Amino acid sequence: MGRVNGKIALVTGAGSGIGRGAALALAAEGATVVATDVDVAGNDETVALITKAGGKAVGMVHDVTRETRWAEVVAEIKASQKGLHILVNNAGIGIAADIFTMEFKDWQRQMSINVDGVFFGVKHGIPLMAASGGGSVINISSVAGLKGAAGLSGYCASKGAVRLFTKAVAMECAQANMNVRVNSVHPGIIDTAIWNKIPQNGMGSLNLPMMQDGANAIDANVLGAGVPLGYAGLPSDIAAGIVFLASEESRYMTGTELVIDGGMTAS
């Protein structure tokens, strides 16, 4: 029997990277996964991979910055799945820019996806979780939510907000006896497509080696060589932590952060 057998799990940003890894891992452990993303093709592929492996999954188009869409998604889950037990607020973007030249529209977009999306997920998802008997919320932050990095000020601000928001919501749920735990996960250098979208000069004080000869994008494996363990992590490494937090193995954990970073924040 799987570690989350019979549970209903909503995973945002499930079309690739950590979101796909989480969806696959939760399904493999017995959950019915509701995979959502604005990337329809990627999300459909995630659902197909789960189904091919013998798991259960459905996909939904979902812009996490729209509160009305959040209400619709949760209502659809209530109607079709009759409950919700696991919420993985994973959808996010990274925009690298010096804070003195960063355009406000980029600041707003990043905050809208990375912070507002988590807020809407908690606001609309937790009441259904409580009505379903309780469960676990896992908000995906970052090592950038624990330490600063020049060139990533806006990203650090968004991920730091997720960390403390998680703690406060955990206290509110505990105070209200909702039987809903809320924790954050803080990945380090993980080999996903997000690095293709961040210029190499946006990593600043993370003090990791850059690409050679003026390459205009970061290679996760090059960066991974600079972390204490010497290599980049995989989405499955983060997914393992997500499954742990989703399961009863972490029943006494709420309001805390699970750091999976190869030792980046150890010093």
C-alpha dist (Å) from residue 205 to 92, 157, 210, 266: 21, 15, 12, 15
Q: How many whole angstroms separate alpha carbon 223 and alpha carbon 219?
A: 6
Q: How many whole angstroms separate alpha carbon 62 and alpha carbon 41?
A: 13
Q: Specify the 3-state DSSP secondary structure of 9.
A: strand
Q: For 75-100, what is the mean pLDDT?
A: 96
Q: What is the mean pLDDT of the chain?
A: 91
Q: Which of 18-22, 40-44, 97-101, 116-120 has the lowest average pLDDT?
A: 97-101
Does the active-site annotation cover 252? no
Digit-coded pLDDT (tens) for 125-161? 999 999 999 999 999 999 999 999 999 999 999 999 9
Which residues are paired to 88 by β-bridges?
11, 138
Q: For 15-22, what is the mean pLDDT?
A: 97
Helices (H), ranges, 57-215: 67-81, 104-111, 117-131, 153-175
Q: Identity (one letter) of the amino acid at 238? A: I
The model's confidence at residue 198, banded by pLDDT at 50, 70 and 90, is low
> What proportion of the chain, given as a percentage, has pLDDT over 90?
85
**Cα angle value 175/179/185 (rounded, 5°):** 90
Whole-model pTM over 0.95? no
Q: Classify the phi-psi angles of 230: left when phi > 0, otherwise alpha if psi is within -120 to 50, otherwise beta.
A: left
Work out the end-to-end distance of the chain between its first and last CA atoms, rounded to an integer number of angstroms: 39
Digit-coded pLDDT (tens) for 21-36? 999 999 999 999 999 9
Q: Which residue out of 70, 120, 155, 195 is catalytically annotated?
A: 155
